[in-house]
């Protein structure tokens, strides 16, 4: 059975009926007419962009934490009172 794309209570392709399957999940939509509408294409583009942004943010936070932790470990391993660079909080000495 064909699954249609539902947006704001209506089907994107414009069909009517009580027995039609409809979903707002983009991956489950099978109706070609629904998939060719501007509403569906924009929703798919927005979800892809959101996933890319989230992946980019996660990658950036991992990379930022990795160098910071390794730098702090390196300074802590050095003998004597070594200063931390600016931006490492209120900790003046290791």
Q: 8 lies in which domain range? A: 3-77
Domain tally for the chain? 1
Q: What pTM, to 2 d.p., does this model score?
A: 0.61
Give the pLDDT score at 85.
61
Distances (CA, A) of 39 to 15, 35, 52, 61, 70: 15, 9, 20, 33, 47
pLDDT higher than 60, residue 51: yes
CB 47 within 8 A of CB 26: yes
Q: Looking at the domain assignment, is residue 92 inside a domain?
A: no
Q: Looking at the domain assignment, is residue 83 inside a domain?
A: no
Q: Looking at the domain assignment, is residue 87 inside a domain?
A: no
Give the pLDDT score at 83.
60
């Amino acid at each position: 059975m064909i699954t249609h794309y539902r947006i704001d209570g209506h089907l994107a392709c414009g069909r009517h009926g009580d027995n039609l399957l409809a979903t707002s999940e983009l991956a489950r939509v099978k109706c070609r007419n629904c998939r060719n509408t501007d509403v569906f294409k924009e929703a798919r583009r927005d979800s892809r962009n959101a996933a890319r942004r989230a992946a980019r943010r996660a990658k950036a936070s991992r990379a930022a934490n990795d160098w910071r932790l390794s730098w702090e470990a390196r300074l802590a391993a050095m003998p004597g009172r070594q200063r931390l660079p600016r931006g490492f909080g209120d900790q003046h000495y290791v």
